[in-house]
Structure 1
Amino acid sequence: MTLRVERDGATGVAVVTLDRERRHNAVDLATAAELGRVWREFRSAPDVRAVVLTGAGSAAFCTGIDRDVRVPQPGSPYSVDDPLVAIGPKASDLWKPVVAAVNGMACGGAFYLLGEADFLIASDTATFFDPHTTYGMVSAYEAVYMAQRMPFGEVARMSLMGTAERLSARRAHEIGLVSELTAPGELLPAALRAARTLAGFPTEAVQGTVRALWSAKQAALQQALAQAPALIALGNLPPERQAELFTGRRQAPRPRVR
């Protein structure tokens, strides 16, 4: 199993942990399928009223899709087979609140998950970046998801600067991407406190509020995501060229705290 799921029936909180620490919690096909299954299962689970989503270890929350994953593409600029497109809770029609607890690196495909969490709590050692442009890839889904959560100039800079910069947890908190900063050892307790509070409220009211919040931006989000397949198909370098750029990377990232 590539996910660890722990339920506390007494509090109504489930903790979902991406459990591939040696791969920096990158998402492979098995993890993607497990995430979809877990979110769908939670929809009808009365003992789950709120969720904490995190990553194993302290080095990374998630570093996106596993580099070893190979997905054949349809060869049309209008279609892309993206194994991450359904890994988020909202994509599985789950409207119970999800609190993301971000430890270490969160980059690339991690934004599919963070983009569909209801709010983020982060360790003060967390960093955020989007490597796509560095490796000749279009940041489409990732940029769209983050554009819903960050000021335009901030997400534009993160999406375009690739691996040259990493957004610090402090800066992420200042711009509103992160709602609370903690010391590394306090991250999960802080996320659990929030989730237990939510789970203690009448669940129908909480789910209705989650749905109302997302309805405020969902039309624009869906319109933007609809453009992603063509942009990726037109702008991505061939996979072998991407791999060359990834293998040859040299530049150390610059931490951005302001």
Structure 2
Amino acid sequence: MGARVNTVRLEADRDTGVAVVTLDRPERLNAVDLVMVRELAETWGRLRCDDSVRAVVLTGAGERAFCTGIDRDAAVPQPSSPYMQDDPLLGAGPKANGLWKPVVAAVRGMACGGAFYLLGESEFVVADTTAVFFDPHTTYGMVSAYESVLMAGRMPYGEVARMMLMGTAERISAERAHAVGLVSEVVGPGEALDAAVRCAAVIAGYPPKGVQGTVRALWAAGEAARAQGCAQAPHLIALGNLSPGRQAELFAARRREFRVR
């Protein structure tokens, strides 16, 4: 089975039971626009109903980035009320779409900002040595809310706080991300996808109901904390974000220098 859509590529191997979902906007560093959100939701829905797929690998096209979050050119209509803030990325991940098949993320290059919605809804992350992780929100006068909530379930508090608060001034290397638990394995340049597929093929070889029940149990372990944190997010974003115009000014004036640790 193979299917090509505008921004998401789906390829599945019926012999191994592994599907590879590729974010396919390399010219935009795989940034997520509203089309990709819709196509990701459609892809996860399709995989829910395909019993021949028993494990999934999520990756990004190209060498420069896994995903750089929401596309800054995407027009996202927002109601004026702080009680009705809309975040399109909340509907982009596998768990948000009820997919309880295991998802392994394969990261090459940059993973930042809204990429954490997808990494936060994956079971584990394999990265190659070119991978770097950072969150630019604070640099541009924005609250890192949902990203922080999701990463707080993956990393020690101090590491999450440092990544979110340092903004674009600092990036976490694959090695550091492995040391703090965000990444489960580091491989050579360009080898993350193959390594993730190998893991997924092993998992796909096990009885699926036991695997899916385990995925659901693991997600349930942190579900209450995530729900409470996410419930605060719209208000914190409404209170803390600068105006879009001011954000754009800060983005245009951003410094290109950064430290990798």
Kept in 2, the 8 Å contact 1:79–1:230? The answer is: no
| Residue of structure 2 aligned with 1:158, choices 154, 157, 163 | 163
Which residue matches 1:129?
A: 134
Report the residue type matching 1:117 in the other structure: S
The reply on whether 1:215 has 2:220 as its aligned counterpart is yes
CA distance in 2, matches of 1:196, 1:77: 44
CA distance in 2, matches of 1:103, 1:59: 7
Kept in 2, the 8 Å contact 1:12–1:47? The answer is: yes
Kept in 1, the 8 Å contact 2:41–2:92? The answer is: yes
Bigger drift between 201-210 and 67-76 goes to: 67-76
Kept in 1, the 8 Å contact 2:66–2:108? The answer is: yes
Deviation of 1:250 after TM superposition, in Å, equals 1.8
Which residue matches 1:167?
A: 172
Q: Give runs of aligned pairs for residues 29-178 of structure 1, distance below 5 A.
A: 29-178=34-183
Deviation of 1:79 after TM superposition, in Å, equals 2.1
Kept in 1, the 8 Å contact 2:82–2:234? The answer is: yes
Which residue matches 2:30?
A: 25
Residues 59-82 of structure 1, C-alpha deviations (whole Å, 9 max, x = no match): 100000001012121111222111
Deviation of 1:251 after TM superposition, in Å, equals 4.1
Kept in 1, the 8 Å contact 2:60–2:66? The answer is: yes
Bigger drift between 245-254 and 85-94 goes to: 245-254
Report the residue type matching 2:75 in the other structure: R
Structure 2 residues not aligned, in runs of 5+: 1-5
| Residue of structure 2 aligned with 1:206, choices 195, 208, 211 | 211
CA RMSD of aligned residues (A): 0.7
Q: What is the aligned-residue identity percentage?
A: 68
The reply on whether 1:235 has 2:240 as its aligned counterpart is yes
CA distance in 1, matches of 2:234, 2:136: 18
SS of corresponding position for 1:85: helix
Bigger drift between 36-45 and 114-123 goes to: 36-45
Bigger drift between 40-49 and 202-211 goes to: 40-49
SS of corresponding position for 1:153: helix
Structure 1 stretches of at least 4 aligned residues deviating more than 2 Å after TM superposition? none
Residues 212-236 of structure 1, C-alpha deviations (whole Å, 9 max, x = no match): 1111110111111111001001110
CA distance in 1, matches of 2:157, 2:239: 23
Residues 62-112 of structure 1, C-alpha deviations (whole Å, 9 max, x = no match): 000001012121111222111111101000010000000011000000000
CA distance in 1, matches of 2:76, 2:91: 15
Per the normalisation by structure 1, the TM-score is 0.98
Report the residue type matching 1:80 in the other structure: Q
Per the normalisation by structure 2, the TM-score is 0.97
Kept in 1, the 8 Å contact 2:108–2:190? The answer is: no
Structure 1 residues not aligned, in runs of 5+: none
| Residue of structure 2 aligned with 1:14, choices 15, 19, 22 | 19
Kept in 1, the 8 Å contact 2:89–2:114? The answer is: yes
Which residue matches 2:3?
A: none
Deviation of 1:124 after TM superposition, in Å, equals 1.0
Report the residue type matching 1:61 in the other structure: F
Deviation of 1:254 after TM superposition, in Å, equals 0.7
SS of corresponding position for 2:51: coil
